[in-house]
Amino acid sequence: MKFTQLVKPATPEQALAYAKQPNTIVLGGGMWVRMQKKQFDTAIDLSALGLDTIEETADGLKIGAYVTLRQLETSPAFAAYTKDAVKTSFSPIVGVQFRNGATVGGSIFGRFGFSDVTTLFMALGATLTFVEAGEMPIASYVGGGILHDVLTYITLPKTAPDAVAVFAHRHSATDFPFVTVAAAKRGEQITVCASPVPVRPCAKTFACKDASADAFFADMPVKPNATQTAVYRDHVTRVLINRAILAVGGAPHEN
Ligand SMILES: Cc1cc2nc3c(=O)[nH]c(=O)nc-3n(C[C@H](O)[C@H](O)[C@H](O)COP(=O)(O)OP(=O)(O)OC[C@H]3O[C@@H](n4cnc5c(N)ncnc54)[C@H](O)[C@@H]3O)c2cc1C
């Protein structure tokens, strides 16, 4: 990626005004966009917006979009909220140096089909705040159309889950995962999110007694990707979903 000018807006509204101009790119940590072979007129640096904090507020756990994956991984508040699942989820993402750069905002805004990060936040029931579009559930954003906006915060519900489990499958350590699964149990409900690449992550909530991979895939076939058949991907994803449901206290029944 190349750009002609770098701007550092002082307010989210200024950042949005830049983002609305043609041929501009919003930068998170830049770890993904730097691999693109594109020339932009303007790159927008969000580092002066104060979006790099994790706060426990009356609404829940409020995470700035500029918080890095490593900040989250080492945050006692986020570790407590996720019952330490963040460590299992984030530690295979390349390496510490990389996670010191990649931001949670860039990870979620990118809607990557392989994302450990998006999968976890979808299972946790996050709400996203955009400068123009305002608040929306993460599932609406991930399943929706293109948005030319600036993501400012990711907020997790005040009540933390009772249990959280994450599983992913990679060809080799630090590679992109080809399946990511997360499950979070709150009371008598389990939310399951799975990301069998190339489909975007998808989350569904079930009564504990009804949660299973069969129920998850009732209306959603797994697609093949460049290296794996649909049959293989379907099998691996089902195994990981049922493991995650078991790990959070469910009892998946298979047909
Ligand atoms: C080699 C490599 C391996 C990886 N492996 C994994 C892995 O195993 N698991 C995993 O989950 N992820 C993986 N990732 C993805 C990584 O974790 C990050 O999700 C990715 O780098 C994006 O984060 P970033 O902060 O660098 O975003 P950037 O690259 O800066 O931006 C990504 C996109 O989001 C936009 N954007 C960024 N911030 C905002 C904002 N606040 N508002 C609006 N738009 C915004 C950018 O314009 C761009 O379109 C990998 C990435 C790379 C490059």
Give all domains of the chain, ordered by start, each with its CATH number.
Answer: 2-45 (no CATH), 54-157 (3.30.465.10), 163-247 (3.30.390.50)
* pLDDT tens digits for range 9-51: 999 999 999 999 999 999 999 999 999 999 999 999 999 999 9
Instruction: Tell me which residue has its CA closest to atom 40 in ligand 1.
Output: 151
Which range has the worst mean pLDDT, 78-82, 83-87, 111-115?
Answer: 111-115
Ligand 1 in contact with 64 (CB < 6 A)? Answer: no
Ligand 1 in contact with 46 (CB < 6 A)? Answer: yes
- How confident is the prediction for the chain on average, in pLDDT? 95
Tokens of 219: 């209306």
Instruction: Tell me which residue has its CA closest to atom 27 in ligand 1.
Output: 106
Beta bridge partners of 191: 184, 205
- Ligand 1 centroid – CA 243 distance (Å): 28
- Ligand 1 centroid – CA 210 distance (Å): 34
* Helical segments of the chain, H only: 12-20, 69-73, 76-81, 85-90, 96-99, 104-109, 116-124, 138-143, 213-216, 230-247
* pLDDT tens digits for range 189-235: 999 999 876 678 999 999 999 999 999 998 887 888 888 888 998 89
Tokens of 181: 């699964």
Q: What's the CA gap between 84 and 100, in Å, rounded? A: 19
Dihedral sign of CA atoms 116, 198, 24, 150 in order: negative
Note the pTM of the prediction, 2 decimals.
0.97
Ligand 1 in contact with 113 (CB < 6 A)? Answer: no
